Structures are given as C-alpha cells and as structure tokens.
C-alpha cells in the first residue's frame, strides 16, 4: 500500500474517498452458462449476458462477479481451466467478452472475474507437458508430484463425497500428483518461479482488457509444507502480496477478493491492506442461518463481537448463497448437525459438508424470512453479494448431480425454457425448475416486474435504499443492548449518518427495549417510508416488531427545542 502511494504520489486515492468503490458496491454473482442464451443452442453466452445488462442495471447492482468462462472440459463447471486466456466456445469469443465488458462499464457496472490460481484442468497443456517431462525438470515441476501418496497426510479432503485422497496416480508420469479438489484438477506448484510468471501473465491479460478485479478461487491452498494443514501458509501470503503490488503498480484500483473458507482470524490475515481488498465472510454466513433457526441473535452477535481487525481499506464480502453448497465447514460438528436437520432434512439436499439448496427453498419459501435474511445481508458490515436468481426467489433441483441443482437456467418469463433459451428443451445445458412452488411459470422476472409487491421489486427497493447511505458499506458497527434475545440490534455510523438496524429473528411478534442513550434527542426515520417515530428520550427506547420483521432507521437530529 505504502509503496503505491509513494509511486503514484498525488494520484493515489486517499483512504475513505470514493475510489474505495468495492465498499459501496452491490455485487451480483452470475453464471454465463445459465443466464441467457442469445443464439438458441441451449447454453447461455456473453451476448446473452450483455443483452441482460439493462435488467441488472435496473436491479441496481454495481458489480458482477462472473463465474469461470474459460475453455474447460467442465468436470468442475469451469473451475477446471484448460486455457486461461480465452473464452469457452459455448460462451462466445473474446470479442464477445470485450463487448460485454465495455457495455457493463458504460452502465457503471464493474466486472470481477474468477482467477483460478490453485489448480488447472488435467487437460491444460501445462499438465500434459508436465506429466511427460523429465522428473525434476522445470516443466514437470509446474505441478506437485510424489512417489508416494503419504506426504501431507494431515491435509483434509474437501470434496469428501467424491475423492478418497488428495493424491492421484498418473500412469504417464509414473508418479502421484497433488490435488485439493477433483482429481481432474492438479494443483500448480507455486514453489516453481515459472508458475508465478505464467500466472502473472494471465493476470496481465485480463487486467489489460480492463476487468476490475479477481475473485481468487481457493486461495489458501497455493503452497504445501509437511506437518501443516497446507492452508494459508506464510508463502501463500507472500505470493498474494506480490500479486497485489504487481496489480496496484500497473493498474491501480482493481480488487482482489479472497475465497478462503477459513475462520475469521485466518481471513483477517488476507485483509491487512497489502493482500486482498475483500474476503468472503464464510464464518458469518452459516451463523445467519443458525440464528434464524434458533430465533436467537447470539450466533450473529458472537461473530460481530469477535470480528478481528482488518485494514481500513479492506472489506468483508457478505453472502447468503453462492454457486456451491452452503458450506457448513466453519461451524462445530454439533451446529452442523443442527443446521442439516433444520435446513436439509432430506439427505439428497446434502453434499460434502454442506447443503445444495438455494435461498428460497432453504427458507421454506417464506417471504418474511427471505426479506429478513436479505435485510441482514444488506446491513451487516461488508459488501453484499447476491447470487443470480435469488432476487426472484428461484428454486433448485437437488436431483441434479454435484452442485448443479443451484445452477439451473435463470427464469426470465413463463415462456418455453423459462425464457432463457429458444432451444429444444431437451438441449438445454440444465433443466429449468418445474418444482410446483418454484415453477418458472410462477417464479420469473417478467411476472415479478409486473407485480409491485414481488420479491424482485422489494429487492430493488432494498438496494436503492442501501445505496443512499454510505454507512452500510463503510460505517462502523456497534451492537446494541437489547433486552430480548430474539432481537438483533446494531448501529452503522459513517460521517454524520447513523443507521439503526433492528431485526426480529423470531416467528412471533416481539417487543424490545433498546439502550439508545447516546442518541438522546434523535428521531428515528424509517428508511423505506420516511415516517418518523417519537424522539429518543431518557428511557430505553421501546419497539415492537412483527414476525421476522426488521427496521432500518436513520437516527436524525431532532428539532432544536426551546
Ligand atoms: C471454489 C469454487 C468451487 C470449485 C472449487 C475448486 O471453491 O467456488 O465451485 O469447485 O473452488 O475450484
């Protein structure tokens, strides 16, 4: 950081200025394949995504995180990259990508792409060359090899439903290779300087095209060392620091977003100002569901109380769902069991250490609970990330393999194929959802745009309100003393803005007394309807909330009396 400020002198962005754009962003995670098919081949493509940018702009999102779209055999849906600097032919061409990027930027929407650093596809030419290269040569050493499967024994297997070991025998090489994910995804060897060079070239390629940042996929696992968990090693942090300065020196305000499914203290190490700008808050996410299930604020309050310090320029990325299973890795085994029982009683809905369901089905398609969880997503400290389709309450299909059940085509209308594609329905990349409560004839963008009270229109209002207050993205967060454990209450403060958030986690009406003594004389103004409540006085402030209700108030200076 210091280096960049020196190097760039007056042009360096002062902390707190609008150049910390990621702090005010509303991020939308999108899968090119399942968003919109422009040419009727059954697969979404960049032209289709470009056509839908107006929809995304209208929704109010300010950044897109685009899932991997590179040439790939799709064993892991594109996270098995076979060529880092091109576009999968099913999605279009590089030209299509460039047009998409330009059109997004024209609408003030930034684009974050996935940078899969840790591994490649086994079809990548680097791996094909490595397995045939002389043992010990620099080409062979692009990957991590061993004569025995006994090294790094203490490292857990992540895809435990699919892989028995992190080592797989390669008959061509006559050796075992290391992989943290599927066996088709050999891990690159970051002890080899040539791998750094090759990856920096990939980084330069996309930065020069103008992408605004990278999500660093599976970033803790870059290095391996005997006797460790091989996650978040000092060497890995050193690499990220080098990556950050490389990008900052050449391209300025682009961002790095860490995907690290780790405890908060570990995550904070990525957020000290010289590594990543953001990291997904994996420990908070399952605790939102736990709090909702227990109707008790404590799981969330505990995370907020113990939040480790991060640099002022860093930010949490908050999410409720994404393209993977809802990961339950960051909770205790007892809590995991409790969450499985509560949210995935059907074993078919479980996968690895998680739940393969979308937001609406997880919440029993209960509009109040969906609104409450989104209200938390949009008001707790961090930048919210919406998963495509969750803004209309899309359903899922737990009978599809792996995590594909949460990656079904976007439901645009009640037309054939949910308006996603004109292809023969049998040709679609994935079947559209026809589960009765979530059927695309009922749950779709067109119908919801036409209905003022739809979830989609509600989400648009939520986003618009959030954007009016910088306190949500940048403010401090203070938990408030509330005499009712069903109620979570906190303030967000930035400059002269103070926002009070009160959320009822229970399915019944609740009353709460809040200690607002610091705000004596202030008037709570509802951020949605602008109605005002009685000013804060000397006594604890009393509020009642309906089942799963929530309030966002601005605490505004009251009229000067006397
Ligand atoms: C990340 C991705 C996931 C992928 C894995 C391996 O966790 O989110 O979809 O399978 O990395 O690349």
What's residue 561's pLDDT? 58
For CATH 2.60.40.1180, the residue range(s) in the chain are 476-557
Strand order in the sheet with 326-327: 326-327, 354-355, 350-351
CA-nearest of 427, 449, 428, 447 to 439 is 447
CA of residue 495 relative to chain centroid, distance: 28
79 touches ligand 1 (CB under 6 Å): yes
CB 118 within 8 A of CB 127: no
Residue identifier of the C-alpha nearest atom 8 of ligand 1: 324
Q: State mean pLDDT over 384-393.
A: 99
The percent of residues in the chain predicted with pLDDT above 70, rounded, is 96
What's residue 559's pLDDT? 80
CATH architecture of 476-557: Sandwich (2.60)
For CATH 3.90.400.10, the residue range(s) in the chain are 125-178
CA-nearest of 551, 375, 545 to 459 is 375
Task: Place 17 in a pLDDT band, splitting at 50, 70 and 90.
Answer: very low
Report pTM: 0.96
29 touches ligand 1 (CB under 6 Å): no
Mean pLDDT lowest for which of 17-21, 136-140, 184-188, 426-430? 17-21
Q: Is the pLDDT of residue 11 over 60?
A: no
What's residue 7's pLDDT? 32
CB-based contacts of 338: which residues, under 8 Å, 6+ apart? 290, 293
pLDDT in tens, 222-259: 999 999 999 999 999 999 999 999 999 999 999 999 99
Q: Is the pLDDT of residue 14 over 80?
A: no
490 touches ligand 1 (CB under 6 Å): no
Q: Is the pLDDT of residue 330 over 60?
A: yes
CA-nearest of 183, 175, 184, 182 to 140 is 175
Mean pLDDT lowest for which of 10-19, 119-128, 181-190, 457-466? 10-19
324 Cα–ligand 1 center, Å? 7
217 touches ligand 1 (CB under 6 Å): yes
Q: Is the pLDDT of residue 562 over 60?
A: no
Q: Is the pLDDT of residue 16 over 70?
A: no
Which secondary structure element, helix H or strand E, spans residue 310, and what is its range?
none
What's residue 331's pLDDT? 97
Dist. CA 297–CA 480, nearest whole Å:
11
Q: Looking at the domain 125-178, which fold is it?
A: Oligo-1,6-glucosidase; domain 2 (3.90.400)
Residue identifier of the C-alpha nearest atom 4 of ligand 1: 79
What's residue 8's pLDDT? 32
Catalytic residues: 217, 259
Share the mean pLDDT of the chain: 95
Q: Is the pLDDT of residue 510 over 50?
A: yes
CB-based contacts of 6: which residues, under 8 Å, 6+ apart? none
The better pLDDT of the pair 524, 561 is held by 524
324 touches ligand 1 (CB under 6 Å): yes
Which is the closest atom of ligand 1 to the Cα of 116?
12
Q: Is the pLDDT of residue 184 over 50?
A: yes
Q: Is the pLDDT of residue 1 over 70?
A: no
For residue 172, count other CB atoms closer than 10 A to its CB: 10
Q: Is the pLDDT of residue 560 over 90?
A: no
Q: Is the pLDDT of residue 466 over 90?
A: yes
76 touches ligand 1 (CB under 6 Å): yes
Q: State mean pLDDT over 314-339.
A: 98
Strands 550-556 and 523-526: antiparallel
Q: State mean pLDDT over 465-477.
A: 98
Q: State mean pLDDT over 431-456.
A: 98
Dist. CA 346–CA 527, nearest whole Å:
39
Which is the closest atom of ligand 1 to the Cα of 79?
12
CA-nearest of 520, 521, 529, 519 to 552 is 529
Which single residue is written with the structure tokens 């990220």?
A: 240
501 Cα–ligand 1 center, Å? 33
Q: Is the pLDDT of residue 18 over 70?
A: no
Q: State mean pLDDT over 284-304.
A: 98
157 Cα–ligand 1 center, Å? 13
Q: Is the pLDDT of residue 343 over 60?
A: yes
The percent of residues in the chain predicted with pLDDT above 90, rounded, is 95
CA-nearest of 54, 56, 36, 55 to 46 is 36
If 0-12 CB within 10 Å is exposed, 13-18 middle and 19+ buried, where does residue 139 land? middle
């Amino acid at each position: 950081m210091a280096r960049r400020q020196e190097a760039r002198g007056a042009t360096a962005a002062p902390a707190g200025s609008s150049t910390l754009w990621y702090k005010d962003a509303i991020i939308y995670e999108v899968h090119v394949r399942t968003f919109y098919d422009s040419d009727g081949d059954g697969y979404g493509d960049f032209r289709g995504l470009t056509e839908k940018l107006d929809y995304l702009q209208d929704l109010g999102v300010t950044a897109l995180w685009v899932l991997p779209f590179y040439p790939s055999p799709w064993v892991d849906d594109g996270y098995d990259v076979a060529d880092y600097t091109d576009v999968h032919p099913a999605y279009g061409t590089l030209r299509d990508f460039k047009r998409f990027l330009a059109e997004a930027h024209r609408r003030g929407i930034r684009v974050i792409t996935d940078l899969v650093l840790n591994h490649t596809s086994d079809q990548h030419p680097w791996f094909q060359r490595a397995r045939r290269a002389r043992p010990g040569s620099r080409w062979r050493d692009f990957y991590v090899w061993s004569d025995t499967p006994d090294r790094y024994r203490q490292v857990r297997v992540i895809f435990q439903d699919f892989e028995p070991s992190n080592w797989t025998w390669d008959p061509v090489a006559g050796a075992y290779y290391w992989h943290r994910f599927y066996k088709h995804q050999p891990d690159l060897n970051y002890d080899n300087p040539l791998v750094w060079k090759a990856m920096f070239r990939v980084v330069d390629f996309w930065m020069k095209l103008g992408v605004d940042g990278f999500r660093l996929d599976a970033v803790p696992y870059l290095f391996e060392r005997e006797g460790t968990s091989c996650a978040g090693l000092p060497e890995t942090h050193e690499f990220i620091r080098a990556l950050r300065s490389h990008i900052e020196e050449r391209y300025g305000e682009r961002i790095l977003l860490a995907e690290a499914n780790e405890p908060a203290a570990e995550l904070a190490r990525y957020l000290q100002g010289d590594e990543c700008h953001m990291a997904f808050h994996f420990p908070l996410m399952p605790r939102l569901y736990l709090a909702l299930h227990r109707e008790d604020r404590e799981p969330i309050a505990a995370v907020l109380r113990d939040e480790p310090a991060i640099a002022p320029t860093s930010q949490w990325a908050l999410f409720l769902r994404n393209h993977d299973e809802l990961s339950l890795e960051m909770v205790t085994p007892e809590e995991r069991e409790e969450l499985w029982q509560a949210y995935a009683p059907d074993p078919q809905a479980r996968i690895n250490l998680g739940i393969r369901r979308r937001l609406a089905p997880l919440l029993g398609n209960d509009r109040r609970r969906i609104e409450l969880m989104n209200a938390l997503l949009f008001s707790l400290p961090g930048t919210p990330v919406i998963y495509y389709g969750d803004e209309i309450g899309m359903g899922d299909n737990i009978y599809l393999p792996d995590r594909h059940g949460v990656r079904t085509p976007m439901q645009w209308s009640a037309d054939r194929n949910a308006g996603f594609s004109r292809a023969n329905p049998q040709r679609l990349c994935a079947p559209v959802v026809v589960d009765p409560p979530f059927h695309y004839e009922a749950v779709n963008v067109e119908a919801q745009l036409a209905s003022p009270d739809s979830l989609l229109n509600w989400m648009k209002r939520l986003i618009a309100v959030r954007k009016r207050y910088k306190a949500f993205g940048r403010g401090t967060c203070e938990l408030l003393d509330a005499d009712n454990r069903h109620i979570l209450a906190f303030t967000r403060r930035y400059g002269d803005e103070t926002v009070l958030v009160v959320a009822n986690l229970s399915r019944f009406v609740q009353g709460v007394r809040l200690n607002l003594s610091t705000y004596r004389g202030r008037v709570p103004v509802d951020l949605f309807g602008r109605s005002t409540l009685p000013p804060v006085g000397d006594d604890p402030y009393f509020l009642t909330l309906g089942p799963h209700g929530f309030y966002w108030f601005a605490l505004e200076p009251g009229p000067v009396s006397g």
